[in-house]
Structure 1
């Protein structure tokens, strides 16, 4: 966690200054002290000027000549080194203030992803903490420059809303850490799809809790992460430590869209392996259009096959009662039938809208 309120001294003396004062008190010049310690004069001079550090070897030699314990010199050096490192970190915070302004920080704070604050420097510190990076360079190298492709195989470099997308993806990773999953079992996960489809067809109030629990038994993590401003993401799939993670936003809060997105992500897991990362409704470096079409086809056919769509649409004078009957027959939800017919342009948008179920992840 960030240590914003912890006290750190405003300045710390380099141990070379302490050594200089000690030598002056004892009327010892740098050359004589160098001879007595057996160290080169240029080394002692560099320490006295604050241009070089006191090493453990030197500290022991200083102890022998000056009778001041070695641990005193080492502690003085450690304090100065920490001070210098924290000074560099403060500079890194200053350099990242413009970057911090590009985040939807207020919304993230509202979701309790980061602590609330209006102070820009504190926002930087909290964002570094959120992403577990120590500098703007570290964030850029991970999310934009793909310096660690094993962990994050895509680049958000060309995204205008890269910081918001990265924040949403990071929150999914954080959420997944609280879920304990066994080793991923592809055959078991595939065998569970009819059971999951049963949940889709009924859409009970606790549908998400049921979905999450069932998927976990096969080693698949599913989380809901609410949308941030300027992130029109429906869902995402990626693998973290050999465990697939499906992250869903619930955008539009319609059950037919939610279930299509979920099964789309399932398609990526079953068809495209560990190296592919999907971010639905976002164009990004590394996106594979063929994979996306395959995942669309997988979801469509699982929810309602083309033959089933044709059978429904060929029904003379199709009525709402027919939709309900077909939903039971094909083990799907009436909203999924209406949504598909609307998407295909067979019926106008708005027709049968009362059949759609609202999405509530916390019932």
Structure 2
């Protein structure tokens, strides 16, 4: 037994405490455990600022002691801009950032809470509790509960659900539509993300997640031509360890799809089927997979949302990748140089050339021509929700 003089000694002491934690009462190991606990506590008191210290100073000191740069910290805080704002004191840590810094870097929670933790400002009663209960998220006991009953237990119910789903809000990508509209209620969006995580956690693929490549994204797009292409696509992703779940949007939310991170780093995709069209299904699914391929999921902070510049950048990258893997611009322009003058023959020819479903091409033409009545019969309207309802219905 010796004093804890540096971070290496501190780590060794923590590891030894884990070994001794189950020691039988009255054994010499219990005495050693008590002494180590005192030494660890003293080390933390001397090397980490007390809670009243600004969190920015806590992190600066920790970075100095562990020779970490702002670039290193971006891995834990989500982006370079987030690191800059936290270090200059213009932004508090979110609950998930606190959790990540504590779990992955071993910084005591008390040192990170400092001023006002974001959790204290969470209005748990603002979640769409009744809608969540009716969807069975809180179990049978609360299936028909009143808002008053749910509100009195809101923190316990929602926080417990987030924990059970193992949702990491700090690694979330979501798409809120391509048309402008009223802003969504952030609590409705988070409720949707929580449900996506729970449904995905309840339906984990047997295969572990090992990443997905651009070529696999291309193969996924080609499945759109198959008769059961939508189902095959979900199976294709499951074979690569990525669950895809259908979760209808909540009232006061406007969301098409998103990616959450669960189960120790596994991405899970949620689709709301807000628009009952095949072209929207394929674009949204491919768009979310593109975020995974581009490694955007690790950067995204759903608690704050990205800065507008960063958000525009990752959305553009994902859209460009989907376009390249489905209907490359050079092929589109060669066959349909003027989208407003596109013909049925040219749309079918382009779909055959790119080996994708005609709905994808028709939707692309509508978007480029800014004319959503054009080829409306080709976009697969009304052929998505019914398909999945049929798949989820019990066999006769």
Q: Same fold (TM over 0.5)?
A: yes
1:175 matched to 2:199? The reply is yes
Q: What is the correspondence of 1:70-109 to structure 2 with a 5 Å cutoff?
A: 99-100=124-125, 102-109=126-133
Q: Distance in 2 between matches of 1:318 and 1:311?
A: 12
Q: Cα deviations across residues 310-343 of structure 1 (Å, max 9, x unaligned)? A: 1231389743233223212211122211211121
Deviations along 1:247-301, one digit per CA (max 9) or x if unpaired, are: 221221211122112111111111125522387xx98246632112101111122
User: Is contact 1:263–1:298 with CA below 8 Å preserved after alignment?
Assistant: no
Q: How many residues align?
A: 245
Distance 1:119 1:289 in 2: 38
Q: Which residue of 1 aligns with 2:258?
A: 236
- Which aligned pairs between 1:287-326 and structure 2 lie closer than 5 A? 288-314=311-337, 318-326=342-350
Equivalent-residue separation in structure 1 for 2:248 and 2:185 (angstroms): 16
1:197 CA drift (Å)? 1.8
Root-mean-square deviation (Å): 3.4
* 1:185 paired to 2:210: yes
Alignment of 1:125-204 (within 5 A): 125=153, 128-132=156-160, 151-153=168-170, 161-178=185-202, 179-186=204-211, 190-202=214-226, 204=228
Q: CA distance change for structure 1 residues 109 and 264 in 2, over 3 Å: closer, same or farther?
A: same
Corresponding residue of 2:305: 284
Tell me, yes or no, if the aligned pair for 1:201 and 1:327 is still in contact at 8 Å.
no
C-alpha distance after superposition, 1:192-229 (max 9, x if no partner):
3344223222353xx44322221121122222211011
Residue 342 (1) aligns with residue 363 (2): no
Give the match for residue 226 of structure 1.
248
For 1:269, the equivalent position in structure 2 comes to 292
Q: Is the 8 A contact 1:323 1:334 kept in 2?
A: yes
Structure 1 match to 2:149: 121
Q: Is the 8 A contact 1:272 1:291 kept in 2?
A: no
**Matched-pair contact (CA < 8 Å) for 2:130–2:147:** no
Give the conservation status (yes or no) of the 8 Å contact 1:242–1:274.
no
In structure 2, runs of 5+ residues without a counterpart are 1-119, 173-182, 392-396
State the Cα deviation string for residues 54-100 of structure 1 (Å, max 9, x = none). Answer: xxxxxxxxxxxxxxxxxxxxxxxxxxxxxxxxxxxxxxxxx99x852
Is the partner of 2:153 in helix, strand or coil?
Answer: helix
The 3 A distance-change label for structure 1 pair 233 and 315 is closer
Instruction: Provide the rounded CA distance (Å) in 2 between the counterparts of 1:116 and 1:314.
Output: 56
SS in 2 for 1:301: helix
Q: Is the 8 A contact 1:256 1:339 kept in 2?
A: yes
3-state SS of the aligned residue for 1:275? helix
TM-score by length of 2: 0.54
Whole-angstrom CA distance in 2 between matches of 1:217 and 1:153: 25
Which residue matches 2:233? 211
Contact 1:260–1:303 at 8 Å: present in 2 too? no
Residues 230 and 356 of structure 1: is their aligned pair in 2 closer, same or farther, counting only changes over 3 Å?
Answer: same
In 1, Cα distance between the equivalents of 2:155 and 2:144? 11
Which structure has the larger Rg?
1
Q: 1:278 to 1:340 in 2, by over 3 A?
A: farther
Q: Unmatched 5+ residue regions in structure 1?
A: 1-94, 134-138, 143-149
* 8 Å Cα contact 1:181-1:220 kept in structure 2: no
Question: CA 1:325/1:167 → structure 2, altered by over 3 Å: closer, same or farther?
Answer: same
2:80 alignment counterpart? none
Distance 2:329 2:194 in 1: 37
